[in-house]
């Protein structure tokens, strides 16, 4: 997916727990299969959840029509429907609102139940955001 210009880094692709994936190169439709549902916290304020199967469509610098990926905002789980790379930022849209984060926050690999800590040191790495929430 990285070769297609997806807003993902090769080391940030939920490698642990991935049991398979499908990619239709002609349409950009993709799906990823995990060994179970996965969730982790970002900076303690956002919680992300991946269902055991998630996917959407991939195009240059954009993931669209996403399913199986959600973020907890306050007390609600909202589906992330689009991720767009804009310069050095990634924008995440839940349809009615979006948030933007620096791309370098995603150069590390998330682990289910451990957040973005990939070095087993017990330290939780923090995510910086550029724009907390904005309406679309």
Q: Please check whether residue 11 is in contact with residue 37, taking contact to mean a CB–CB distance below 8 angstroms.
A: no
Q: Please check whether residue 103 is in contact with residue 89, taking contact to mean a CB–CB distance below 8 angstroms.
A: yes
Between CA 111 and CA 128 the distance in angstroms is 18
* Partners of 16 in beta bridges: none
What tokens appear for 37 in the block?
């549902």
Quote the pTM value: 0.71
114: left (phi over 0), alpha (psi -120 to 50) or beta: alpha
Cα angle 75-106-135, degrees, rounded to a multiple of 5: 45
Strand blocks (E) in 1-136: 18-24, 29-34, 38-42, 46-59, 62-73, 76-79, 82-86, 89-93, 97-102, 131-135
Burial environment of residue 30 by CB neighbours within 10 A (0 to 12, 13 to 18, 19 or more): buried
Per-residue pLDDT of the chain in tens (136 residues, 90 and over written 9): 444 444 443 444 455 678 889 999 999 999 999 888 888 776 556 788 899 999 999 999 999 999 999 988 888 899 999 999 999 888 999 988 888 888 777 666 666 655 554 554 444 444 444 444 444 4
């Amino acid at each position: 997916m990285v070769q297609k210009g997806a807003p993902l880094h090769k080391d940030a692709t939920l490698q642990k727990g991935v049991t398979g994936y499908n990619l239709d190169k002609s349409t950009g439709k993709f799906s990823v299969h995990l060994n179970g549902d996965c969730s982790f916290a970002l900076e303690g304020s956002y919680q992300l959840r991946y269902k055991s199967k998630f996917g959407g469509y991939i195009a240059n610098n954009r993931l669209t029509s996403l399913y199986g990926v959600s973020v907890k905002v306050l007390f609600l789980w909202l589906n992330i429907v689009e991720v767009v790379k804009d310069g050095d930022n990634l924008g995440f849209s839940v349809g009615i609102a979006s948030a933007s984060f620096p791309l370098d926050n995603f150069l590390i690999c998330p682990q289910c139940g451990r957040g973005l800590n990939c070095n087993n040191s017990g330290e939780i790495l923090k995510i910086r955001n550029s724009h907390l929430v904005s309406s679309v």
